[in-house]
Amino acid sequence: MTRVYNFSAGPSALPTAVLERARDELLDWHGTGMSIMEMSHRSKDYVAIAERAESDLRELLSIPAGYKVLFLQGGASAQFAAIPMNLLRDKTTVAYVNTGIWSKKAIAEAKKYARVQIAASGEPNNFCAIPPRAAWTVDADAAYLHYTSNETIGGVEFQDIPDAGGLPLVSDMSSNILSRPLDVGRFGLVYAGAQKNMGPAGIAVVILREDLIGEPMAATPSILDYRQQADNGSMLNTPPTYPWYLLGLVLEWLKEQGGLAAIEAVNVRKSAKLYAAIDRSPFYSNPVDPACRSRMNVPFRIANTELEKTFLAEARAAGLVNLEGHRSVGGFRASIYNAMPEAGVDSLIGFMGEFERKYG
């Protein structure tokens, strides 16, 4: 079997060591004679797995006291609705920063429950830049301020945590959580689907300040009620047990790499060399403002769009797969999350250079 370099934006590549360990433990987990997939979520063994995952996540992110960690179903998209349902309380307005497609999806869902104020928007610049914080207009009476820390499709990433102006700060971090250290204490709530940078599809993580738990809208389904989920240890119903286990293995792998500061250094090197290869070539281009280019998702184009199918076909033959840009924008996209080894980025850069020599 030959493994390829998988540049998929999600579900994305997992660390090889994690997959190998999961393979070895698949049929008989630690002498129990059964798979994790067959194990009751209420069993002593599984509860220990879940508790270890939470402990490791708290350690990696240095989550301060006074925060709950929830492991939930429905991906980040379910949280688009759960957040206003839980955090609106006696307010009528919520504030959102619009930096691309995933921001738009969160905004559209929030509009079902509250008046959404667009505090800032990158739309005038075709979502290739983030408006400076000084240009934002944030309603001081809003229930919270929401932003998407990394736009997977457009390749725009916040490099710093924005000032929330005294409001609870909420962030969708699905595609860059665990890629760098994070000051969790500056947030009211952080949420992320696992399938991009911390595990397989099927589970999402919500980290929220305890004073924000409670007082959900009356129509909030029990499964979206943060108080009920927190009181039941994220096991109000049967959780996605195997994705939770795999997420835990990814967290252990991250600790083995040296933690988030160490993985950030690798991510900086990977993205810097790929952007440098794009920028020094007249054949390739990236439209994003260098000040907010994503380390995780690198969109790029070639001058002659008629060569796109040839590029993808030859890349696949070279073991470089899932480089297609999102269907809404076209072009190419290399997603280089934590699990993408530096050798994979080097291989892509080498291929791009050879393709330019052949067709440029």
Q: Is 347 exposed, middle or buried (0-12, 13-18, 19+ CB in 10 A)?
A: middle
Q: Residues near 227 by Cβ (< 8 Å), separated by ≥ 6?
A: 213, 214, 216
First vs last C-alpha separation in the chain: 34
The one-letter amino acid code at 36 reads I
Catalytic residue among 29, 56, 68, 172: 172
Residue 349: name the closest of 24, 7, 69 by CA: 7
d(CA 98, CA 117): 10
* Angle of helix 241-256 versus helix 16-25 axis, rounded to 10: 130
Structure tokens at 164: 């929330």
Residue 8: name the closest of 320, 247, 351 by CA: 320
Residue 68: name the closest of 190, 249, 180, 242 by CA: 190
Q: Is 141 a catalytic site residue?
A: no
Catalytic residue among 29, 68, 196, 270: 196
Q: Is 196 a catalytic site residue?
A: yes
- In angstroms, the Cα distances linking 85 to 222, 255, 305 are 11, 35, 44
Q: Is 244 a catalytic site residue?
A: no
Catalytic residue among 29, 102, 136, 253: 102
Active site residues: 102, 172, 196
